[in-house]
Structure 1
Amino acid sequence: MKLGYSNIFLDRLFSVDQNNKSFAENLLSQGFSVYEIIILAPIAESLQGLEEGTGIPWIETIDDDFIESHILKSSSGSRYGVYGKIKEFTTINGKTVIIKNDFVYSDKGFSSLRHAKLLYDMLYYSEDLNRHPYLIYFLDRPLVKSCENCFRVSRSFSISNKPAEKITTLQELLKSNSSVLQKINKVLSNSLKKINILEKSDNLNLVNNIQQIIEDAVFSSLKMLRSLNLSSVRAFLNTTSLTEDDIGILVENYVCNETYDIVFPYLKAIYKDNDLELMDSIISMEHIDIYQLGLPFVNNEINDRIYDAINCFKKFEETKIPSEKLSILMKTIHLLVSKTVKIHEEFQRNKNYNENIFQDASNFLKDNLGGDYLIPLLLLVVVRAKLNYLETDFIYMTHFSFLNIRKGEELYAISSLEAVLHHILHQKDKLKAISNYNLILWDSVKSGDINILDSVFKKENPNFISVFFGDFTCTSKISSVLKDIYYYKDINGDSVIMLGIKTKQFSSVSFFLNHSQFSIEILLNDHDIEGSTLLMVAIKFEFKEAINMLLQKLKECSEDEFTNYLAQKDKLGRTVCHYLFHEPYLIMELGIYLSWKSRDKYGQTPLFILSTMYDHPDYKTMFLNAIKIVQLIENNTLNVDDHVDDNGNSLFHTINDSDCLLALLNCKGNINKKNNHGCTPLIYHAKSGKSELVKILVNDKRIDMTAKDKNGFTALHFSAQGNLDVMNLLTEVINIEERTSYTGLTALHIAAQEKSLDCINYLIRNKSANINALDYKGDRPVDLATDQEVIDLLDEYALFMNSSGRNKRMVRAVRAMIENDSTVKFVIKSGFVNSNSKNLITVIRTVEDFKLLYKFFIHEYSESWIPSFHINFLHPCMIPSKPSKSILQAFLNCSNAFLQALLQHSTFSTHELLWEFFTTPEQACIIIERTQKKNMDKDKEIPKKLISIEDVNDADFFFKYAKNNIGNMKHAYYRLYRNLYFLEFSYLGKFEQY
């Protein structure tokens, strides 16, 4: 019968050739024994596809050398290693591999160094009944050829090309030449010593001297680096876009970074008074507003740019490198003045700016807004950022950059910041007056003081245009002062109405909304820095009076304007509809005007957000009302699939109420839709332990009970983590022995891992779960347990496994384990359990203990048949860092078979020696002495038991008859073994593909 494997390697190893011999048999004929070899078999998936370049199938590239390079001599080195240690092996063709932890590393004799992961092991029994089994460890990839060199059928082994390494620091450039960095550090150390001995009386000369010392350090370091002509540096110059100038910048950055902690404190001390004066001026004008800067126009986008630029500019004081400070300044300016389509359209309508200013940066200004925008906006950014030591940072940025040749844009950025600092210092009094005026306005809004608000509107407020633009030609004009107040923003970006709503000052809100200068355009265009409209904020702050007043004002709009206003999105992409859970009564009042399919930046619709508001007191009513509104809008055809977020979760996943789920099940939608983690709604709710929802889903015929997530877990596997109620429901519809796709875990494995005693008891007692089920690594549930109570419970169930009742005394070796010294030990339990009591005894025995027991019985009953005890396997720790679980299980099976044979024997089962083995600690000396005494007494009885010569014929007839029967039994056993071998052969070809 011709057999074949799906694994090419195993097929070549065990399939017979034209001489009716396999590679393995030929190997044994060369003098190797099964005991002397360990087979490392790459899994089938790693051997599929075509070899890159030649296009030759893998099946044609696996030669004898390939196979021999994956067969280890188990006899190389010591007999077996210490558990967990590294060990070196020799292959049968003389190559060397090193096994450490779960990995095999190729070494001497291999054409290239590679590594592979040890996945699991198994014993393979050949067709020869008398031959011992082969030990096979499976690898995730071969050792001889790289996975990258062939085209994979499966994605799990595909390896993407790594992008070319990008060098950003000198340390990365010189990572293979650490001694060079040490030499540069020595240069820097000498430079810092020079700084420490400088004369400190003349600040100007001190700055110049420090600058000169650092400059000398940069050029000295660069000169030394170039003189070494390092191969690694040349390689980067040849293979990347890195240039000599770039290397110079890396050196300068390194020097500045390493000397910063010494240099910058000196500069701070020198410019201390300047920094204090600048900060005092900034604090005095912190309440000035963008609408007071005399810009040609201002819209919400420019307001947003201000806050993005502030966050960017705050990093200015954090970096230690001048070029990085300049980059942050450049990015800040870019955020402020780079055009977008929206700004460009308004820009063309407001050509009241001087197009000729800053001609030195003409290329920059062609694609960006002009100086009329940059200086005022940058001033506001500097004031709002409130950076300490800004003057010192500016000096450090401009005076300690030696190799970077600055371009027009960079010079423009520096001169712009310099101009802003100049105006902050020299226009302090006028700017302070504007700031104080604004502060009075904001305080009166927050306090609800109508008298102050009224007085503000009755007098002309100061504006900034005459203060700031005195040096420039600017023809822009401010609109009416009173109307501008509605557009003023406080330091947090809130208008007067917005501030009134956020502080819940109804008097302030009412004053502004009912003032003669108010117009509906103000309401429609007012946003805070988060992009929230006035109505959004009123809803979020649950300010009903303001909500009702705003809705009353919005009645002045056309229907399109009203609908568009409700559809406006904040920076999270959310509309008014997304925030209705704050004020659920608005669902019925505004619902028909809202866009229920509108998605925020996370892909969540308003209906989706309502489904996640689990702690809301009106959760059910709120969600059911929303469904009614959506069905009313969509002609009773709500489609659940229209409300799926970016994580793939649908309303079926997120709903948390039985009635709401029943309502959704009556709508259109895929009830088995998986989210991005592969979870169906059933898996999702089982994972969350929501038994009521699971019960509803289980009773729906559309549900796919066998669906698995991306890790191959079913809903039952998640319930095994500790939710007994959910497990009760799922075990009625899902096979309890269902395995996870990639690890082969059953529900019992998971319950043991998660220390869930209730689930363990339920699975074994109520559902007869297999406690000896093996996962794909060969582990039983008890092997995965870490809690002693769980281990004891599983051992107890193993003791009474397959017994007719618990009132009968049972004995079993329930578990084998490996100690740190590689000793194999067996946990033997004995006893009984009934309804009234439990009497269990546990002893630990070794292989030597079993052999001693066998030896004692042989001595005492030399004329009797004694069950054999032969453990004909390699030691489990032949690979110390990953002991063989299949061999350990074989040890356990052999020991159990030996014990059960003794227990079923009429004489041996009651022998004191056997029960002492089960119940008492080892007393070898006493047992040996007692056995010897019995043997002496036995020898005296031998003559009496000798049969007469006449009885020999009867015995001869009996033995001939018994021999014939044994021969027939042996023949039947051999036929059974052959059939089992064919089954194992087929199973191995499938199982190893894991």
Structure 2
Amino acid sequence: MQPLNPFLAAFFKSSVASQCTPVHHYILLVPQTDVLLTHRETESGASTSDIVASEEFLASHVLRIPPPGGKETSPNLREVRGKAKQFSTLNGRSVIVKDASIYSNKGFKTVTQAQTQSDAAWYPDVFEARQWLLYYISKPLVGNWREINIPPAILPTPSRTMETKQPSNSDSAEYSTPKKKDIKTFHELLNNFPMIARQMQSGLEEIFTEFTIVFQKPLPAPPSANEIPDPAPDGPIATAMRRARSSSFNVRSQPASSASSLPVTEDFYAEDEEDVMRASLETAVTTAIDLFQGVDKQQLSLLGATTDLTGPLVEKLIERYITENVHHLLFSRLTSLKRPEDLELEAKIRQMEYIDISQLGIAIDGGPKAKHDLIIHLGPAIEEFRKISNAMSPQEMLELLLSTMKTVSQLTGEAHEEGENSSAEKAIMTVNADTLVSLLLYVVIRASVRNLQARLGYIRNFIFVDDVDSGELGYALSTFEAVLAYLSTDSAGLRRASRKNKALWEATKKGSMPELKKIMEPNTSAIEDDDEDESPSQKPSRRQSLSWSLTNGSSRRSSDLATPERLSKGSGLSHVFPFQTDGECDDDDDRHSGTFRVARVKKVSMDTRSFSSDSEFSFHSRSTGAGTIGSALEGDISVERLAQTSDSFGESVLMMAVQNGQLNILKYLLSLRGYYPLESVLEDMNNEDTSLLSAAVQHGNAEIIDTLLDCISSGVSHEQLVQYVQEQDIWGRSLGHYLFNSPALITRIGYLIPWKQRDKNGQTPLFALCRSYDHADYCNMVEAGLKAAKVAQGDGQPLHVDEHVDGKGNTLLHIINNPRLALRILHYCDVDVNAINEKRFTPLMVASKYGRYDMVRSLFADPRVDLGAREARGLTAVELAKDEDVRNKIDDLGLFSMPPGQDGRITGVVRAFFVEDGTVRLVLKSAAPTDHDSYTVTTSRRSLSDFEQLGRLLAEENPASWVPTVTDTRSPFQLPSKPSRALLRDIQAKMDWFLRTMLNHPTLSKHEMLWEFFLVPELQLGTMEDRTRLKIEARIERIREEYEPVQDLREVEQFVNHAREIVRSVNYATKSATRRVNSVGVVGADMYDSLVLLHRSASGLVFLPQGHHIVALEMYARAMQPTQSSPHMTLHTTLIAVQSTVQALLSALGRPTTIVAQITNAKREADRSQGSIGRSSRWPLGLLDDTRQRLQEEKEKKAQKWREEASYMARELRYTQQTVAAEMAGWQNMHDTMDEIGGDEESTQSDTSKRTGPSF
């Protein structure tokens, strides 16, 4: 049967395969099956089968490996790592191999890079199969291949059809016109247009140099200096600075001469400094714009043609570029000038640290849930506003202000509704002007940004191109200025509320019941005392707010004279803060009278309805009375409001009691049903979406958990309780994911836990329990979780472990480190013991890598575990072990998994590995039983050449015995940068079978050289050679002395021919069985590949239930994946070993025939020499008698020598006949014994696989 891979099917049917002789000098680069079946070649247009079957394609994927020369040494793996090496293909092209990458080189039309995925030893489906070495690559080296996309099997709606047609037209339009460059900054402009950069470089450098010199002007040389340089002429920036200082001095001198002028209380010098900096920056920007306008007109035309930039946009880019480069000079000085104002503002903001959002004049409909959603959606706005600390220009700061305000203004969430538009956006709240200021107050307080006064002044005064007095930019800046003005002047009420909140929270956290009751159960005296604690300096000043202007209260008379067009001529912020009203006096009178006016706060609904001017709420929010705004922003400190406050982490008072383990405080708060109804308790969660019960479970306080459970379960239905337990936090974890902190809850509420629920890492609650290795009662906790999870399945079947796999593909067996739990999962759960994670690690590999030897033993005992499984790099579990001791113990386990011999000794090759010098080492172990349950294990390491020498010496010493050959192994280092691990496994299997066969050999099983080979740590090769030579000489003497020569050669020939015919039939049957077993293995692998392709195609059938049919097909394909130690591979390896033994036996049976031929030849030569002696000579008598006599004697000696050789060969034939006959019988007995051992081993595995036990 032909393989599924089109390349392999075409290669072994073509004449290219016959050109590769011998096959050991060629390597096949085979494109992956799924690539050839799911991709098509786009250049030629021919079908995939025709392209793959072409001789050019086939020959281009066959590497020609030169045979190793005499002077060529083995490659050092460390030296060749990372180096490229060139190989030629069968058709003369060249390919470069570097590590795992393969590049097409000379002879190919295009350069293609492919990755080697894996390697394999391949046997074609022929009778005399030879071993081929295959390297699977990610894509073909010939042609341009593109994946064939399978459209979903659904009928498109008409609207979708139109949508698919419209982009095609736009795409064609895009292809017809060249795409313009997207330039965001002036730096990108200079990089994309080097000619413009070259023309402006010197001018820009002069601007920055002069600006730096002006702001960091060095002191003049002292008069005592030897050389006083002439002052440098002023540049444009210095001139502008000098002019600004002069005009500022003239403006200040006029009011100073007036007798009626008031005392100067402002720092005019600081304001003058700001004006000078502003004039200098404006001059620098103007100069840079002039430089740009002086650039070559052709370059400017090219800029306009290839980008969407216009003149104003370029001016903005230039201004921002100049400002960013001098930011470190300007802003540092401006910060020092504004430092007193910023220190005062920052101190007040710190005093408002504990304010709650509900105390900023916003009444949120919807309870704690709506408030929580509002705080969560304000989080991005706070993070956006914090970015202003790292801004490098006023333009960037203004953009951040605008984006912050937009984020606050557009508070939308997802409304989960049934229907087509299930993800439609729904506004969290309607934001009007007053609400916007309140929300921005919360953002500014929570962000805690430093130097805010300096930053807003920087934005207001140091932007020249953009208009910061109108439009959305002006509105954003004015709104933030209003916020800072309120924080500086009228925030006493917020600070008082912050102190009240802090007192409540500290009492709750510390468990101070008297302080808590004093706050939660207030009286009149307590309120008056709290108001008296307000210092005069902390009371709000309404007069200060009346004199407040839009420029943060600083007089800008000099700026007004310099650039009057920059100032705002708008109507101010009366729509936000109506300070200048006629109702101020009334408000002041009410305040001084000692009574509190109960003003109606701004009420904002959670609905998306529009507030018209006729709305009652809108009318009050737009009222111009000072009492409205003042009382709204004073900070509500009523008990109802204080009970619902939360800190910056979103933790409510109840959450604080839970987090700090204050049981009495929690019971007291829960008893206040008026403030904490059950609905409020259920909706209470912090910014991480952690509920009260989940927080209690995380802290593991049993009393608090019982209190909350009793409180919640007594007032809700079962469905509500299940929904509450299933609520997930921002990490996707519910209460069940934290049960390791309170394992006693598993038996109490295990039926409520969603055991299949996954967090963002894909972990289920049971998975989290299994990862809690350091838990004091780890085993019992996990066992309880396993039982509860099985019961929660509801199907009465064993626990489905495949439902508890994390996002990285790890199963419970991957993470368990306790052998007792591992055995429980292996015996009583439905588990895939060979499941792989994203790194292609099986549970056995993970246990081996991290040195969990007990886990390795537990997994080794399960017959379902694939001991030879390989990860992505081709490493097995034992090769992944980091510790040599663990690796040695795993080798011992591998040894004891082998069948023992007749004497109980277990011997085998347990591992093979590469060495840096480019050779192969094999680990031999032999275990001899000493007591009933103990063994003595001997370990030795041998190279492949050691095995070859052992076979050669045994064959030389015992020429009549059959010895399997080990010299036909293929080198795994033919690609030095990527040695073949498939050949390494093949070498290990061959050497293991060679050793096991020799230990069961009827003649050589007790040979001392064989036993020394695996018992002596260090071999003495020279001693072994000498000893073998002596034994050969002793054998020859023994044959001459002890064996009678064979007289009837025909009888020996008949016996040998009969035996050879019998063994030939066995050889034919073995080869036939090997071919069929190989075909079955290939078909099984192709079946798995076909199922994978079927599953990929079936995934596009969207009308199928995704949770049933597609998943079932995936599980079926996974179950059909062939293992490295599959029965097919084991049987195939065994048959190859049997075939090698049969070939050795045939070679041994051919030796008697060779000896018979030698005997016949020796007798013929003896008869010829003897006949020549009696033949009459033609020489006359008496002439040359001595010579004639000498020739006769030589002929007699020669005839005697041939007769002696014939006699010895006859004795040798007798010895060979007896040895061959004995070994034929011993060979039959050996295979009968090995078959019995194999049958016992299979029955043992069958009994092990049938172990069952009670399920959970």
Same fold (TM over 0.5): yes
1:97-108 to 2 correspondence within 5 Å? 97-108=95-106
Following superposition, the deviation at residue 553 of structure 1 comes to 6.3
Q: Which amino acid aligns with 1:886?
A: A
Query: Which residue of 1067, 1081, 1086 corresponds with 1:970?
Result: 1067
Match of 1:323 in 2: 395
SS, match of residue 881 in structure 1: coil
Change (3 A) 1:837 1:62: closer
Aligned-partner Cα distance in 1 for 2:658–2:893: 60
Q: Which amino acid aligns with 1:867?
A: P
Aligned-partner Cα distance in 1 for 2:493–2:807: 62
**For each residue in 1:231-269, what CA deviation from the matched residue of structure 2 results, as whole angstroms up to 9, or x when unmatched?**
9x999x57xx77787677666655554x35xx5246534
| Farther off after superposition, 116-125 or 244-253 | 244-253
| Farther off after superposition, 68-77 or 956-965 | 68-77
Counterpart contact for 1:122–1:135, Cα < 8 Å: yes
Counterpart contact for 1:653–1:684, Cα < 8 Å: yes
Aligned-partner Cα distance in 2 for 1:105–1:244: 50
| Farther off after superposition, 811-820 or 265-274 | 265-274
Following superposition, the deviation at residue 759 of structure 1 comes to 1.8
Query: Which residue of 781, 786, 793 corresponds with 1:694?
Result: 786
Q: In the alignment, does 2:63 pair up with 1:72?
A: yes
Match of 1:950 in 2: 1047
Following superposition, the deviation at residue 818 of structure 1 comes to 0.8
Change (3 A) 1:199 1:943: closer
Q: Which amino acid aligns with 1:894?
A: K
Following superposition, the deviation at residue 393 of structure 1 comes to 4.0
Aligned-partner Cα distance in 2 for 1:880–1:957: 51
Aligned-partner Cα distance in 2 for 1:628–1:890: 65
Aligned-partner Cα distance in 2 for 1:644–1:289: 29
| Structure 2 stretches lacking a partner, 5+ long | 154-167, 218-241, 243-272, 365-370, 414-429, 508-514, 549-573, 602-635, 773-778, 1093-1120, 1122-1256
Match of 1:194 in 2: 210
1:651-666 to 2 correspondence within 5 Å? 655=739, 660-661=745-746
Counterpart contact for 1:715–1:730, Cα < 8 Å: no
Q: Which amino acid aligns with 2:828?
A: V
Q: Which amino acid aligns with 1:739?
A: N
Following superposition, the deviation at residue 887 of structure 1 comes to 0.3
Match of 1:615 in 2: 700
Following superposition, the deviation at residue 652 of structure 1 comes to 6.9
**For each residue in 1:455-485, what CA deviation from the matched residue of structure 2 results, as whole angstroms up to 9, or x when unmatched?**
4547999445443245665557769766579
1:497-536 to 2 correspondence within 5 Å? 522=641
Counterpart contact for 1:285–1:435, Cα < 8 Å: no
Aligned-partner Cα distance in 1 for 2:1071–2:1087: 25
Following superposition, the deviation at residue 956 of structure 1 comes to 1.9
SS, match of residue 956 in structure 2: helix
Following superposition, the deviation at residue 792 of structure 1 comes to 0.3
1:644-683 to 2 correspondence within 5 Å? 655=739, 660-661=745-746
Following superposition, the deviation at residue 330 of structure 1 comes to 1.9
Match of 1:346 in 2: none
Change (3 A) 1:782 1:121: same
Query: Which residue of 1072, 1076, 1087 corresponds with 1:990?
Result: 1087
Match of 2:30 in 1: 41
Match of 2:916 in 1: 820
Q: Which amino acid aligns with 1:315?
A: K
Change (3 A) 1:650 1:417: closer
Following superposition, the deviation at residue 795 of structure 1 comes to 1.6
Change (3 A) 1:894 1:228: farther
Aligned-partner Cα distance in 2 for 1:244–1:41: 59
Following superposition, the deviation at residue 731 of structure 1 comes to 2.2
Aligned-partner Cα distance in 1 for 2:1054–2:467: 112
SS, match of residue 908 in structure 1: coil
Q: In the alignment, does 2:821 pair up with 1:726?
A: yes
Aligned residues: 875
Following superposition, the deviation at residue 889 of structure 1 comes to 0.8
**For each residue in 1:808-844, what CA deviation from the matched residue of structure 2 results, as whole angstroms up to 9, or x when unmatched?**
4443222111112321122223353534865433332
SS, match of residue 937 in structure 2: strand
Counterpart contact for 2:682–2:724, Cα < 8 Å: no
Change (3 A) 1:68 1:53: closer
Counterpart contact for 1:644–1:650, Cα < 8 Å: yes
Counterpart contact for 1:6–1:989, Cα < 8 Å: yes
SS, match of residue 197 in structure 1: helix
Change (3 A) 1:910 1:200: closer
Q: In the alignment, does 2:826 pair up with 1:748?
A: no
Aligned-partner Cα distance in 2 for 1:271–1:776: 58
Aligned-partner Cα distance in 2 for 1:376–1:73: 78
**For each residue in 1:702-756, what CA deviation from the matched residue of structure 2 results, as whole angstroms up to 9, or x when unmatched?**
344463536796856336x422121121222358883215777654333222311
Change (3 A) 1:182 1:409: same
Counterpart contact for 1:315–1:328, Cα < 8 Å: yes
**For each residue in 1:117-146, what CA deviation from the matched residue of structure 2 results, as whole angstroms up to 9, or x when unmatched?**
333221111233434212222334445566
1:558-577 to 2 correspondence within 5 Å? 562=677, 565-566=680-681, 572=687
Superposition TM-score, scaled by structure 1 size: 0.71
SS, match of residue 866 in structure 1: coil
**For each residue in 1:900-944, what CA deviation from the matched residue of structure 2 results, as whole angstroms up to 9, or x when unmatched?**
233223543333433343314243333334434444555566655
Aligned-partner Cα distance in 1 for 2:1046–2:797: 83
Aligned-partner Cα distance in 2 for 1:621–1:452: 35
SS, match of residue 878 in structure 1: coil
Match of 2:347 in 1: 283
Aligned-partner Cα distance in 2 for 1:525–1:614: 23
Change (3 A) 1:337 1:626: closer
Following superposition, the deviation at residue 758 of structure 1 comes to 1.0
Superposition TM-score, scaled by structure 2 size: 0.58
SS, match of residue 339 in structure 2: helix
Match of 2:980 in 1: 884
Counterpart contact for 1:170–1:250, Cα < 8 Å: yes
Aligned-partner Cα distance in 2 for 1:340–1:761: 56
1:236-255 to 2 correspondence within 5 Å? 237=306, 253=320
Aligned-partner Cα distance in 2 for 1:385–1:693: 43
Match of 1:927 in 2: 1024
Rg larger in structure: 2
**For each residue in 1:858-884, what CA deviation from the matched residue of structure 2 results, as whole angstroms up to 9, or x when unmatched?**
3333344333113332x2223333321
**For each residue in 1:329-352, what CA deviation from the matched residue of structure 2 results, as whole angstroms up to 9, or x when unmatched?**
2234445667989xxxxxxxxxxx
Match of 1:498 in 2: none
Following superposition, the deviation at residue 197 of structure 1 comes to 3.2
Aligned-partner Cα distance in 1 for 2:278–2:732: 60
1:138-149 to 2 correspondence within 5 Å? 138-144=136-142, 149=147
Q: Which amino acid aligns with 1:950?
A: Q
SS, match of residue 876 in structure 1: coil
**For each residue in 1:82-107, what CA deviation from the matched residue of structure 2 results, as whole angstroms up to 9, or x when unmatched?**
43344344444455444434343445
Match of 1:410 in 2: 473
Counterpart contact for 1:752–1:785, Cα < 8 Å: yes
Aligned-partner Cα distance in 2 for 1:537–1:735: 43
Q: Which amino acid aligns with 1:866?
A: V
Change (3 A) 1:819 1:30: same
Match of 1:914 in 2: 1010
Match of 2:544 in 1: 467
Q: Which amino acid aligns with 1:329?
A: L
Change (3 A) 1:954 1:621: farther
Following superposition, the deviation at residue 757 of structure 1 comes to 1.0
Identity among equivalent positions (%) equals 21
| Structure 1 stretches lacking a partner, 5+ long | 15-21, 156-160, 342-366, 489-516, 582-608
Query: Which residue of 694, 698, 717 corresponds with 1:633?
Result: 717
Match of 2:338 in 1: 274
RMSD (Å), alpha carbons: 5.6
Aligned-partner Cα distance in 2 for 1:923–1:247: 85
**For each residue in 1:199-254, what CA deviation from the matched residue of structure 2 results, as whole angstroms up to 9, or x when unmatched?**
767656566446544664677589779977999x999x57xx77787677666655
SS, match of residue 814 in structure 1: strand
Change (3 A) 1:394 1:108: farther
Q: In the alignment, does 2:1056 pair up with 1:959?
A: yes
Change (3 A) 1:58 1:846: same
Counterpart contact for 2:834–2:866, Cα < 8 Å: no
Match of 1:454 in 2: 528
